[in-house]
């Protein structure tokens, strides 16, 4: 579908991916879309304001986040129907990937508004490229549950087949997650921890649950973290540890 078919009385809705750390990852199409928009609906207006200032974009901003998206989605779409051009930004990265976006797309489609998707950086695709694990097929799991019982059920549900999983985790719970993977999926489970992807302190740590747990016991983790894990069946043991490197 071309862009002329995504308009509604000359209005449009665009979901725009933005950098997760390195502003040089901003695409030319994303910049053009933000400049042409009448309004930017941003998960974090403070970060969006800094992004716009860096690229000399002066489009007005409004908040659109998890705490107001159910109320504000209708208002945003009414603006589109009235002919306004609205760009939606998540905090960073790709909208709808563990960030607001799904709801407004679903409701837009119900109104026969085809959103413009402006792709770009995502921590998930970064992890796919960086992992060094089989990713011809993988499952993205979002964030692990917070409560202990649900976390254990969540991890135990991954047992039983050879598969690669990608998940996000808070740095405050990453040490705990390593211990839980070691306990529930086994010490030989292969892992990659990607911290602060695309940023100044970017770091990729590779090894088994046992080796990473031993090397980083008591570490105070900082920054955004993406975890890739390769679950093996009892019949398909994991190969020897890959080298852990920063």
CA distances from 240 to 118, 134, 178, 237 (A): 40, 15, 18, 9
Rounded to two decimals, the pTM is 0.86
Fold of 3-118: Cobalt-precorrin-4 Transmethylase; domain 1 (3.40.1010)
Q: Could you give the residue range(s) of every CATH 3.30.950.10 domain in the chain? A: 123-231
Residues in the chain: 246
Under the banding of pLDDT at 50, 70 and 90, the label for residue 104 is very high
Task: Tell me the HSE value of 105 on the side-chain side, using a 13 A CA sphere.
Answer: 15
CA distances from 198 to 95, 204, 206 (A): 18, 11, 17
Question: Tokens for 79?
Answer: 């603006």
**Pairwise CA distance, residues 189 & 42, whole Å:** 38
Three-state DSSP string of the chain: CCHHHHCECCEEEEEECECCCCHHHCCHHHHHHHHHCCEEEECCHHHHHHHHHHCCCCCCEEECCCCCHHHHHHHHHHHHHCCCEEEEECCCECCCCCCCCHHHHHHHHHCCCCCEEECCCCHHHHHHHHCCCCCCCCEEEEECCCCHHHHHHHHHCCCCCCEEEEEEECCCCHHHHHHHHHHHCCCCCEEEEEECCCCCCCEEEEEEHHHHHHHCCCCCCCCCEEEEEEECCCCCCCCCCCCCCC
Above 90 in pLDDT, residue 116? yes
Computed from CA positions of residues 19, 97, 192, 172, in that sequence, does the dihedral angle turn out positive or negative? positive
Mean pLDDT for 235-242 is 48
Under the banding of pLDDT at 50, 70 and 90, the label for residue 44 is very high
Q: Could you give the residue range(s) of every CATH 3.40.1010.10 domain in the chain? A: 3-118
Mean pLDDT for 66-74 is 95
pLDDT at 16: 98
Above 90 in pLDDT, residue 220? yes
For tokens 């999983």, the residue is 165
CA nearest to 188, candidates 234, 129, 238, 113: 238
Mean pLDDT for 162-180 is 96
Q: Could you give the percent of the chain with pLDDT greater than 90?
A: 88
Superfamily of domain 123-231: Tetrapyrrole methylase, C-terminal domain (3.30.950.10)
**Pairwise CA distance, residues 229 & 30, whole Å:** 32
């Amino acid at each position: 579908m071309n862009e002329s078919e995504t308009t509604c009385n000359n209005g449009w809705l665009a979901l725009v991916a933005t950098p997760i750390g390195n502003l040089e990852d901003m695409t030319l199409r994303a910049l053009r879309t933000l400049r042409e928009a009448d309004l930017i609906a941003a998960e974090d207006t403070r970060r969006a304001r800094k992004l716009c200032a860096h690229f000399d974009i002066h489009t007005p901003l409004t908040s659109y986040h998890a705490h107001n998206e159910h109320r504000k989605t209708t208002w945003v779409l009414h603006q589109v129907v009235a002919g306004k051009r609205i760009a939606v930004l998540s905090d960073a990265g790709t909208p709808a990937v563990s960030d607001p976006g799904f709801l407004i797309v679903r409701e837009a489609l119900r109104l026969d508004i085809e959103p413009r998707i402006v792709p770009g950086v995502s921590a998930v695709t970064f992890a796919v490229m960086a992992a060094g694990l089989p990713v011809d097929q993988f499952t993205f799991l979002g964030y692990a549950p917070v409560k202990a019982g649900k976390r254990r059920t969540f991890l135990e549900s991954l047992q039983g087949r050879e598969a690669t999983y990608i998940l996000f985790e808070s740095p405050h719970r990453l040490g705990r997650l390593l211990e839980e993977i070691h306990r529930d999926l086994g010490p030989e489970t292969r892992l990659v921890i990607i911290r602060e992807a695309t940023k100044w302190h970017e770091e990729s740590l590779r090894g088994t649950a046992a080796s990473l747990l031993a090397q980083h016991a008591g570490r105070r983790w900082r920054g955004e973290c993406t975890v890739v894990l390769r679950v093996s069946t009892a019949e398909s043991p994991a190969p020897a540890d890959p080298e852990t490197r920063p």
